[in-house]
Amino acid sequence: MYPEYKKLIFPYSNRDGSVSWVVDFPDLPGCSAVGKTQEEALGESKIASELWLDAYYDEHHCYPEAKQMSQTFSGRIALRIPKTLHKELSEQAQLEGVSLNSLIITLLAQNFGKRLSRPVINIKEKRYRASV
């Protein structure tokens, strides 16, 4: 009955040290759900998205279009950073005897693995996916 929309599910570290799971719908602004487990959060997200879509349909007489994410990635990005950061990264790369590119890739990869403490994308659901 309802169109399929991309879901983002990610862990969220609470102040008390426990972890909750959050489901966010990037194409449905403000629509999200929380649960103690991934399964609970996904169950709650079904209810939340249906309520959100019903309200949207009542107001607009249609459902919002799901945005499509590009499926082609070259592995290449152009990035502007402050001159001081560029200098510090270049100096560190030289000290380690690696290229600036290799150092940046390593730093990104190391820090990407530490994401449990912050809300980020964890898994992809049917369409494409990312965030709260």
8-13 sheet: strands from edge to edge:
32-35, 19-24, 8-13, 123-124
Q: Looking at the domain 8-69+114-124, which fold is it? A: Double Stranded RNA Binding Domain (3.30.160)
Alpha-carbon gap, residue 99 to 115, rounded angstroms: 25
Identify whether the C-beta of residue 47 lies closer than 8 Å to the C-beta of residue 80. Answer: no
pLDDT in tens, the chain (132 residues): 788 899 999 888 888 989 999 999 999 999 999 999 999 999 999 999 999 999 999 999 999 988 876 678 888 888 899 999 999 999 999 999 999 999 898 888 887 765 544 444 444 443 333 443
- Give the list of residues 6+ apart from residue 121 with CB closer than 8 angstroms, or none: 8, 10, 129, 130, 131
- Which whole-number Å values give the CA distances from 37 to 18, 22, 63, 77, in the listed order? 11, 9, 29, 35
Overall pTM surpassing 0.75 (yes/no): no
3 state DSSP class of 44: helix
Task: Report domain extents, the chain.
Answer: 8-69+114-124, 83-112
